[in-house]
Amino acid sequence: MSMLAEKSRARPATVGALIGVGLGPGDPELVTVKAARLIGQAKIVAYFGKPGRPSHARMIAERYLARGCEEMPLLYPVTTEIPFDSPDYVSALAGFYEESAQRLGAVLSQGRDVALLCEGDPLLYGSFMHMFTRLDGRFRVEICAGVAGMSGCFAAARQPMTWGDDVLTVLPATLDEDALTERLKTTDAAVVMKLGGNFPKLRRAMARAGVLSRAIYVERGTMTGERIMRLAEKPDGAAPYFSMALVPGRGRRP
């Protein structure tokens, strides 16, 4: 038993547990056996989503939900209508996370457990982390690892990513072009997330870094509508939310 874990596990059993359940990259069969069990046992499931759209997390988990379980959608107030780095966006999001944590906390205080469904790996760029930092310590929080979105994309694209002593860098395409170029030049393998409108800039950076010829573009990896192609051949313009760029490593290969 780890020292770090004890803090939260020592809470009295009269409050409920928040269980962050990693769902994997999108294919419902890539949910772990443990996650499938936790979802099936849950009397209350919560998930993040956008108003007026089916929740992606819920779709992945659907087949594992217990009949009659209570659902608690946590709907983002704003998404792409406001620039991502504007003060308005940051402040709206902070309020939303605070309110979501309060809603979850209110249920946990009644001694009821909540399974919070998380796409991918809950601890890699996941919304779950905003609930974790707000609720851990006050309540028991358990975390079930999931297949990361990028791991799903490696398999979908059939790309061995890192060999031997390769260094892998995971970076957001939101960095400026010079920074992206430098990062791509100084790593053996790379995964680039948050492509969106940054795609043309990313391709320029890849060309400058000399990695464009081996870069792969993956859209909706492991999901319906999966598309995989050489990044150099992807038409320019924006890339959708579920897309990623891979630069496989070429390290030591006995």
Using CB under 8 A as the binding rule, the residues of this chain from 9 to 48 that contact a second copy are 22, 24-25, 27-34, 36-37
Choose between 130 and 204: whose C-beta lies nearer to a second copy: 130
Nearer to a second copy, 94 or 238 (CB): 94
Binders of a second copy in range 159-198 (CB under 8 A): 159-172, 174-175, 183, 187, 194
Site for a second copy in 125-144 (CB under 8 A): 125-126, 129-130, 132-133, 136, 141, 143-144
Nearer to a second copy, 43 or 227 (CB): 227
Contact 16/107 with Cβ under 8 angstroms? Answer: yes
Going from the C-alpha of 67 to that of each of 44, 74, 137, the distances in angstroms are 11, 20, 31
Q: Cα(232)–Cα(196) distance, rounded to whole angstroms? A: 16
The verdict on 243 binding a second copy (CB under 8 A) reads no
Q: State how far the alpha carbon of 224 is from the alpha carbons of 17, 22, 29, 180, in Å.
A: 33, 19, 13, 30
Which residues touch 72 (CB under 8 Å, ≥6 apart)? 44, 45, 46, 47, 103, 104, 107, 114
Q: Does 2 bind a second copy (CB under 8 A)?
A: yes
Handedness of CA 83, 86, 88, 93 (dihedral sign): positive
When the beta carbons of 67 and 252 are compared against a second copy, the nearer one is: 252
Residue among 72, 75, 228, 232 that touches a second copy (CB under 8 A) = 228
The CB-of-62 to a second copy minimum distance in angstroms stands at 13
x/- map, 48-87, a second copy, by CB under 8 A: ----------------------------------------
Q: Which of 193, 168, 203, 176 shows the shortest CA–CA distance to 243?
A: 193
Helix axes 177-185, 199-209, angle to 10 degrees: 40
Judged by CB under 8 A, does residue 250 bind a second copy? no
Residue 113: CB minimum distance to a second copy, A: 17
Task: Give the integer Cα–Cα distance in Å for 241 and 119.
Answer: 13
Taking the complex as a whole, how short is the minimal distance between the CB of residue 254 and a second copy, in angstroms? 4
